[in-house]
Amino acid sequence: MTEYSHAPEPLGVPTRRAAIRLIDAVLRRGESIEAALPAATRMVHGPDRGLAHAIAAETLRRLPDLDALIDGATARPLPPDAKARTALRIALVQALVLGTPPHAAIATVLPLVEGGPRRLVHGVFGTLMRGGATLPTLPALPEAVAERWRAAWGETMVEAAQAAIAAPPPLDLTLADPSATEQWSATLGGTSLMPGHVRLTGDHAPVTELPGFAEGAWWVQDVAASLPARAIGAGRGHALDLCAAPGGKTMQLAAAGWQVTAVDQSNNRLKRLRENLHRTRLKAQVVQVNLLDWAPAAPADAVLIDAPCSATGIFRRHPDVLHRVHPTLVAELAELQARILLRAADWVKPGGTLVYATCSLEPAEGEAQIEALLRDRDNFVLKDDTPGRILPGHIAGGNDGFFIASLARKN
């Protein structure tokens, strides 16, 4: 019988392997980090999973600048998908951004290029460290994204997006009871930008350990993401929350007095919506269906559509969107959004409100959808106080990118 002996891998190597798998999933297969996490981090546990995620996310956030450093230190450019390049990217991001001592950053990466260009990786990393390499204060966007956003929104927006990548995003909370804003701001040590909102910046305890989490006094929601339900406001009638899971906007509507029907097709995401409702003791009727095969029994006073989209507006927390969202994907999603929007418009009572939102920075998923709806249906008008386009830097201290249209159905 043959005996196999496996030398244990040096500490920290499986975590770096998981980080490389996450980066590959995004860059080669166009997957989101979130979708790739279970398979890529299968062999790592506890806090190491978080570390693998952080290394991958930080690498994707700073990818063009890391590649510029690597290209400046190699005689012949490494192919974009070479393992040596990804190994160098994660060694550099740890040393230059995450505060890992350089010897540890390289020692945990070299075993991953064993049998390959180990010496090259070691040499390039050493050269860059000895030369005092640094990353620019204003991170570069991938060229295709910068071009697309420059064409749509101008240079100022591109610079605001770059600044947003550099700053760690704050933690925004939405309160179930806006009249307690001052009290919760003080208890949590935060600041408030509007009633019902508290923002925490800098270090804080894990979310589930913060005061008020267990009793459901608030939920995590970027301030821009809270604007669609705010556009509907308080009410006693029936509100349809379409594409509702995991329920940020359902909870806002329920807390504002509406009888809410929350509709989504995803079982997993609806599970999180139910947990959120349970924790906050808020009520909603939950329906799991594909919206394209469903219609409500009766029209509603308010309809909110938080449509599935490219999510390019949430690039600060999900930097994978900068690398995997391409015009063809945007066009496909825009087609789905148009179908959902046209169906849902018919579910609004005369005199009622329709709010359409996407966390996207692509005009095709925002402005163009509403222009098309208004061309198609003359029974809707855009409200004067419609929030419209929310670009990075719109709200002091940072915000996700969003498009929000608030429309009235004529009587």
Q: Do 383 and 408 touch, CB atoms closer than 8 A?
A: yes
Query: 388: annotated binding-site residue?
Result: no
Q: Does 267 bind ligand SAM (CB under 6 A)?
A: no
Is 164 annotated to bind a ligand? Reply is: no
Please report how close the Cβ of residue 292 comes to ligand SAM at its closest, in angstroms.
5
Q: Does residue 287 touch ligand SAM according to CB under 6 A?
A: no
Judged by beta carbon, residue 106 or residue 338, the one nearer ligand SAM is: 338
Query: Which is nearest to 270 in space by CA: 242, 296, 292, 297?
Result: 242
Which of 269, 221, 278, 227 has its CA nearest to residue 245? 269
Answer yes or no: is 244 a known binding residue. yes
Q: Parallel, antiparallel, or unpaired: how do β-strands 380-382 and 402-409 relate?
A: antiparallel
Q: Which of 208, 290, 328, 411 binds ligand SAM (CB under 6 A)?
A: 290
* Of 94 and 358, CB closest to ligand SAM: 358
At 12, give phi and psi (nearest 5°). Answer: 95, -15
Which residues does residue 204 pair with via DSSP β-bridges, in sequence order? none
**Using an 8 Å Cβ cutoff, are 179 and 408 in contact?**
no
Structure tokens at 243: 């594409």
Cβ pair 198, 188 in contact under 8 A: yes
For position 247 contacting ligand SAM by CB under 6 A, the verdict is yes
Residues 6+ apart with CB under 8 A from 162: 138, 139, 140, 141
Q: Does 248 bind ligand SAM (CB under 6 A)?
A: yes
Residue 281 or 339: the one with the smaller Cβ distance to ligand SAM is 339
Does the annotation mark 359 as catalytic?
Answer: yes
Using CB under 6 A, which of the segments 26-34, 41-49, 265-273, 364-372 binds ligand SAM?
Answer: 265-273
Residue 299 CB, nearest approach to ligand SAM (Å): 18
Contact call for residue 249 and ligand SAM (CB under 6 A) = yes
Burial label, 386 (beta-carbon count in 10 A; 0-12, 13-18, 19+): middle
Q: How far apart are CA 320 and CA 308, in angstroms?
A: 16
The answer to whether the annotation marks 306 as part of a ligand binding site is yes
Does residue 269 bind ligand SAM (CB under 6 A)?
Answer: yes
Residues 341-370 that bind ligand SAM (CB under 6 A): none
Q: Is the dihedral of CA 105, 111, 117, 123 positive or negative?
A: positive
Q: What's the closest the beta carbon of residue 255 comes to ligand SAM, in angstroms?
A: 13
300-306 and 238-242 as β-strands: parallel, antiparallel, unpaired? parallel
Nearest-approach distance from CB 394 to ligand SAM, in angstroms = 19
- Determine, following the binding rule CB under 6 A, whether residue 398 of this chain makes contact with ligand SAM: no
- Does 230 bind ligand SAM (CB under 6 A)? Our answer is no
Among 245, 254, 260, 345, binds ligand SAM (CB under 6 A): 245
Give kind and range of the element (H or E) at residue 16. Answer: helix 13-29
222 binds ligand SAM (CB under 6 A): no
Nearer to ligand SAM, 16 or 324 (CB): 324
What is the number of residues in the chain? 411
Task: Measure the CA–CA gap between 339 and 84, rounded to whole angstroms.
Answer: 44
Shorter beta-carbon distance to ligand SAM: residue 306 or 362: 306
Q: 309: annotated binding-site residue?
A: no
Question: Based on CB atoms, which residue is closest to ligand SAM, 65 or 306?
Answer: 306
Contact 108, 15 (CB under 8 A): yes
Of the pair 245, 405, the CB lying nearest ligand SAM is at: 245
Residue 291 binding ligand SAM, by CB under 6 A:
yes
Q: Choosing from 63, 161, 359, 391, which is the catalytic residue?
A: 359
Question: H or E stretch including 198?
Answer: strand 197-200
Query: In sequence order, what DSSP letters do the residues of 97-134 get, joined into one string?
Result: TS---HHHHHHTTGGGGTTSSHHHHHHHHHHHHHTT--
Contact 57, 51 (CB under 8 A): no
Report the binding-site residues for S-adenosyl-L-methionine.
243-249, 264, 306
Contacts to ligand SAM by CB under 6 A: 243-249, 264-266, 269, 290-292, 306, 308
Q: Which residues does the annotation mark as catalytic? A: 359
